[in-house]
Amino acid sequence: MRIDIDELFDTTNTRGIAYNAMIEDGCSPERDNFLKDPTFVFDRYGKALLYISSLEQKVRDIVNSNEPGYGVIIQRNRKVISQTYRAGLAYMSLAQNYQNQEIQQILATKILNPYLDLLTRIWPTISNLDWRHYSADELMPNGKLAAEMFNVSLQDLRAYAESTEFKKRCDVWYAESTQQYRSCKAYVEYLFSRYARLLVVRLDLGFVIDSELRADVIGCRERLQRFLRNKRNNSLFDHQVGYIWRLEFGIKKGWHYHCILFFDGSKSQQDVSLGDAIGNYWRKVVTQGQGTYWNCNRHKDRYSMFKLLGVGMIHHSEEDKRDNLLKAVTYLCKMDEYLRQALPDGVTGIHTFGRGKIPSNDSGSVRRGRPRSGPDDGYSDTSAAS
């Protein structure tokens, strides 16, 4: 039975998860060229990512609880559910995860975090999950309610989560995610220590529908390298002082990059037109007509909906905007807590995350004095691996 993503999508639209979906294609233009159609839509891929994020949290909550999914009693010579606990509320989500084709398509292109891997790969090998084909109150061929078998499966799941192997995987995975975020946070703080204000531009850089580059990760990387290298001789980037980028693969969009570009705010002011100019440079020059882009700065209202506007001009003293910028960086990093981009078989040496460098004489410390608006002589445009 094919379960539709709309049937699964019962996630509470928290600001964090919703913003995360916006970063990761939850909101996207209906056409490649926003000049033709600037409409934002929560597409099905975005819904799937929202669902996966919530699913991971459900698994984590279940593992960290000792409650059964259901209480079962015998009433009038038949078994009935007497109580539904928190884990039982996740019954349908956990069962339908295995049957939804869109979810499985996305997971197939990713490296899963320990909890999602436990749910999708390990749990079926350590427990009988036949219950997932029944409603919780249905009687199975073995004479037990599906709810009872679900309770047994929960015990198996929790037992594995207590294993040394699983705990070690968690320690390694989350240490890497935390380090990446701390690195980017320090980088943003470093930029604000150098400049009184920053002009922040967020762009998604991808390829048109009929471009072979959508499926060519090596070609995609080469275009980004050209983009970063060529900007040294392009006046559009005269006042750029930093950047953060992330490589992603989307079912609809193929390979593409999410970029946050930082400019000296004392010398650059027009973020929307600058974003369009850079996007067109990517589209026309770097990719020779095969590229497409999405200028998030042109659609600030979409971020304002969640009170998380972190693009445009941000002054060193504007704490709210700086916090929102860090949230944008956080959620750009945050998907690594759930899913990391898997590369095609045989492809190695491609970074999926990068940022500009903090000069070695500034590493480990951030100046606390009055921010300077002069050029950053130590700025390097060499990408740092995540």
Contact assessment for residue 296 and residue 203, using Cβ atoms and an 8 Å cutoff: yes
In this predicted structure, what is the pLDDT of residue 362?
Answer: 59
In this predicted structure, what is the pLDDT of residue 359?
Answer: 79
pLDDT band of residue 330 (cuts 50, 70, 90) is confident
Look at the block and give the residue holding tokens 């704490």.
Answer: 319
Whether residue 249 sits in one domain with residue 233: yes
Whether residue 189 sits in one domain with residue 128: no
Count of C-beta atoms within a 10 Å radius of residue 354 = 20
In this predicted structure, what is the pLDDT of residue 106?
Answer: 75
- Measure the CA–CA gap between 40 and 29, rounded to whole angstroms: 5
In this predicted structure, what is the pLDDT of residue 101?
Answer: 75
pLDDT of 226-268, one tens digit each? 998 887 788 999 999 999 998 888 777 888 898 999 999 999 9
User: Of the candidates 268, 218, 259, 203, which has an alpha carbon nearest to the alpha carbon of residue 240?
Assistant: 268
- Output 29 or 343, whichever has higher pLDDT: 343
Whether residue 124 sits in one domain with residue 197: no
Domain finish residue from 116, 137, 162: 162
Does residue 357 have a pLDDT over 50? yes
In this predicted structure, what is the pLDDT of residue 63?
Answer: 92
- Measure the CA–CA gap between 323 and 331, rounded to whole angstroms: 12
Whether residue 196 sits in one domain with residue 100: no
Whether residue 121 sits in one domain with residue 97: yes
Whether residue 207 sits in one domain with residue 128: no
Mean pLDDT in residue range 176-189:
86
- Measure the CA–CA gap between 259 and 286, rounded to whole angstroms: 15
Token pair for 187: 């980088």
Which residues lie closer than 8 Å to 181 by C-beta, 6 or more apart? Answer: 329, 330, 333, 334
Amino acid at site 212: E
pLDDT band of residue 210 (cuts 50, 70, 90) is confident
Which residues lie closer than 8 Å to 85 by C-beta, 6 or more apart? Answer: 67, 68, 69, 70, 71
How many folded domains does the chain comprise? 2
Whether residue 140 sits in one domain with residue 37: yes
When mean pLDDT is compared over 38-52, 235-249, 352-366, the highest value belongs to 235-249
- Output 78 or 371, whichever has higher pLDDT: 78
Mean pLDDT in residue range 14-26:
44
Domain finish residue from 104, 129, 162: 162
Does residue 10 have a pLDDT over 60? no
- Measure the CA–CA gap between 257 and 259, rounded to whole angstroms: 6
Helix, strand or coil, per DSSP, at residue 130:
helix
In this predicted structure, what is the pLDDT of residue 373?
Answer: 42
Task: Report yes or no on 375 lying in a domain.
Answer: no
Task: Report yes or no on 227 lying in a domain.
Answer: yes
Whether residue 254 sits in one domain with residue 176: yes
Whether residue 29 sits in one domain with residue 126: yes
- Measure the CA–CA gap between 356 and 378, rounded to whole angstroms: 11
Task: Report yes or no on 386 lying in a domain.
Answer: no
Does residue 50 have a pLDDT over 80? no
Query: Please, where are the H alpha helices in 139-257?
Result: 146-161, 164-194, 217-230
pLDDT of 70-105, one tens digit each? 999 999 899 999 999 999 988 887 887 766 777 777
Contact assessment for residue 116 and residue 107, using Cβ atoms and an 8 Å cutoff: yes
Helix, strand or coil, per DSSP, at residue 264:
strand
DSSP 67: -
Task: Report yes or no on 218 lying in a domain.
Answer: yes
Whether residue 244 sits in one domain with residue 202: yes
Q: In this prediction, what percent of the chain has a pLDDT beyond 90?
A: 40
In this predicted structure, what is the pLDDT of residue 188?
Answer: 92
- Measure the CA–CA gap between 376 and 185, rounded to whole angstroms: 18
Mean pLDDT in residue range 174-198:
88
Does residue 6 have a pLDDT over 50? no
For the chain, what is the mean pLDDT? 78
- Measure the CA–CA gap between 214 and 216, rounded to whole angstroms: 6
In this predicted structure, what is the pLDDT of residue 366?
Answer: 44
pLDDT of 373-382, one tens digit each? 443 333 333 3
In this predicted structure, what is the pLDDT of residue 245?
Answer: 92
Task: Report yes or no on 384 lying in a domain.
Answer: no
pLDDT of 114-154, one tens digit each? 998 999 889 999 999 999 999 999 999 999 999 999 999 99
Contact assessment for residue 197 and residue 266, using Cβ atoms and an 8 Å cutoff: yes
Task: Report yes or no on 371 lying in a domain.
Answer: no
Q: Domain range holding 101?
A: 5-162
Whether residue 310 sits in one domain with residue 290: yes
Does residue 22 have a pLDDT over 60? no
Does residue 197 have a pLDDT over 80? yes
Whether residue 320 sits in one domain with residue 182: yes
Does residue 53 have a pLDDT over 70? yes
pLDDT of 267-323, one tens digit each? 998 999 999 999 999 999 999 999 999 888 887 776 665 556 678 899 999 988 888
Task: Report yes or no on 362 lying in a domain.
Answer: no
Task: Report yes or no on 214 lying in a domain.
Answer: yes
Contact assessment for residue 213 and residue 207, using Cβ atoms and an 8 Å cutoff: yes
